[in-house]
Amino acid sequence: MQAWVIGNWKQNPATSRDVDTLLEGLLTAIYADTKFSSNCCNLMVAPSDIHLAAVNARLKDTSVLCSAQDISAHSATTGAYTGDCSAQQVVDAGATWTILGHSERRQYHQESHECLLQKMTHAFTQNLGVVFCIGETQTQYDAKQTLEVIDNQLSVIKDLLDQQPDITVSLAGRLIIAYEPVWAIGTGKVPTVYEVSKTHQHIKQTVAGFANNLEDMTVLYGGSVNADNADSFALDSMIDGALVGGASLKAESFLAIAKAFS
């Protein structure tokens, strides 16, 4: 299975000029590094919607893919939903994937099970791949509720399949799970590789139980991944790549993580 390394730029960088600098740095580093083979690792970046079209234009004819960070829950296409951007609109801007269910969306926008079910449905109707984020808070981790929380969050996929059994065909190869413990995001704290591995194994088994063609689901780890710790995660066969926040904002560290998984 090819690894995935995805840079979630969140609400960064500040200006279009900074976006250009980041992208040029990344592409220059990729081309200059003879040891890095993009054939061994899928690389993707997720800029803000405002930068999607420009980033996609620059990435055309390169092997780096472009993802949105979110889409509207209200409509897959158009409508009176001020401030929203639909699945159709991000596809038009060049995104082939979208992140959904990031803990920052769950926390600051109160995204619920129903909301995520809507978003996932809209994504697949527009043939947009989904990087679905799940993970427990510090309190839930301390209370040893990780697997329970994750099962609950994964039930969005089960409900989608129950509602639309035909969608299974589009799901294969178009769904990635990113396990991101909330307490590890931007904190410098990380679970042990053993803990991540066990949790990923559980996620893979659970999703495989939803439908036959969802066996061997790609499961990424996210949360304080950096150039120094990427190797240890990459060595574990249950960890199929990384969803990277802070370290994806520097070309060198992002590429170092990609190399670890290549």
Interacting residue ranges for ligand 13P, rule: CB under 6 A:
8, 102, 180, 185-186, 222-225, 243-247
> 102, 122, 200, 202: which is the annotated catalytic residue?
102
62 closest CA partner among 98, 35, 24 = 24
Does the active-site annotation cover 51? no
Does the active-site annotation cover 104? no
Q: How far apart are CA 238 and CA 194, in angstroms?
A: 10
Q: How far is the CB of 211 from ligand 13P (least distance, A)?
A: 26
Q: How far is the CB of 190 from ligand 13P (least distance, A)?
A: 9
Nearer to ligand 13P, 52 or 76 (CB): 52
φ and ψ at 121, to 5 degrees? -60, -50
Classify each residue of 84-95 as buried b or exposed e, where b means 16 or more C-beta atoms within 10 Å of its C-beta. Answer: bbbbbbbbebbb
- How much is the CA Rg of the chain, to the nearest whole Å? 17
Q: How far is the CB of 182 from ligand 13P (least distance, A)?
A: 9
> 122, 180, 200, 202: which is the annotated catalytic residue?
180
* Residue with the shortest CB distance to ligand 13P: 245
Nearer to ligand 13P, 69 or 206 (CB): 69
Q: How far apart are CA 105 and CA 92, in angstroms?
A: 23
CB within 8 A of 256, min separation 6: which ones?
Answer: 227, 230
Nearer to ligand 13P, 87 or 243 (CB): 243
Which positions are catalytic?
Answer: 102, 180
